[in-house]
Structure 1
């Protein structure tokens, strides 16, 4: 069977990534496991990593695990495979929860930034860029998304349209866009121009998603430039009535 062919090389490869997991995370995975399972895991981790985890399990669990490790002669492949599967699933769940927390935190921060003065908002974004470049990119992607054009007031949309200067680019970007995004663009141009863009969109038929995404990236780039020089404000703030 496959399990019977679970070699020492396989074991080393499977456990190698666990040495990269934070000690606190490993402890949280293992604290409710049977002492024998914990003993198997620690026997394959780097000694320093195992020592840190063992110390964090508490005196009772530490004793039980240490005794089982001392008694351990050899581990059958089935046991190793089962432990690997269990720990990997817990790690995936852990990463998923952390991703959800990061996403939730960014969404909250975006909402907070909407209500802050522009200078303070830019200072915060600069600080995040310096401290957490990867998170900063995620934050900017949320703020400077094509769909966020709906946060602009009508005057700002007209400024954006004038800056784009390319109706074909607008038509491409609006393919597959939500009704609110389409309406935001089309209501802020002349009826003849809006009609021409709608006709061009219909004449395009089906087009590649990459073309749509590329056109939207170009418009987002223009939006960011206008936001940087203060001509528009993408984060909005309180809703304005026009």
Structure 2
């Protein structure tokens, strides 16, 4: 005959809570005072295996009814789980004093926010080598704008297959989703963390795009002479207002279709005839007549700062559209 386990009142209470299970125990924990919770935690950490007979004796002492079980194993771990899901880390720290309470890990963080930060072309290059069903599953998890930008980097047949499957896609089994997520972590994010310098290139390009054209060219020559790495990536992100004629006609139409007539008129004041024509040729006939009429009245009294701000807005919009995959900048086309 085994000797009954001798437990303190706090340990008995902890054993009862563990036996009740997380849902019921979580509701009861809210009625304990802070010092009582601390005593429960300390008591639970000393608990180990409780034989069924001792558990029944403890239950009888509390005059409660419980379903039959097979005894309790690892009571301390189970109490930690219950508390972890019932109380915040801040509440646990307050209860336990200086003892640090570790929140139980819940697996790797979601992968989708990290994928949305990548260049669309990088993710598109990966999906181009995958089955359309896999690509459809990935894009369905991304924000609509990001998914659209990635789609634009793929071939038309591939886009059609992916969209068709996205329309008819049902819920993806968890096991299949985990396989795809793990593959993305190892094949895309892991490579990005070690090799992707696009963020640094974008930062440098954003600074250089603030410079006037002559000074920009001088700085680029200095960087090239100094052997600056990844300079082609920086160059691919550079764009100035004077580069508008280098865009394709289709790109210019797309660009100016979303800009106001007033902004375009202001930006074209004082420009060369060739640059103005490259812009006006991408605008509808009615808007073109209005702009030409305004430009014919001259630019007297219009602050140069306003003109430069309007040009900067057009440049910024051009760069944004190119990053979204709407079209390529001239430097990117030349490098291809």
> Which band: TM-score by shorter chain?
0.3 to 0.5
- Structure-1-length-normalised TM-score: 0.42
More helix by share: 1
- Structure-2-length-normalised TM-score: 0.31
| Larger radius of gyration between Structure 1 and Structure 2 | 2
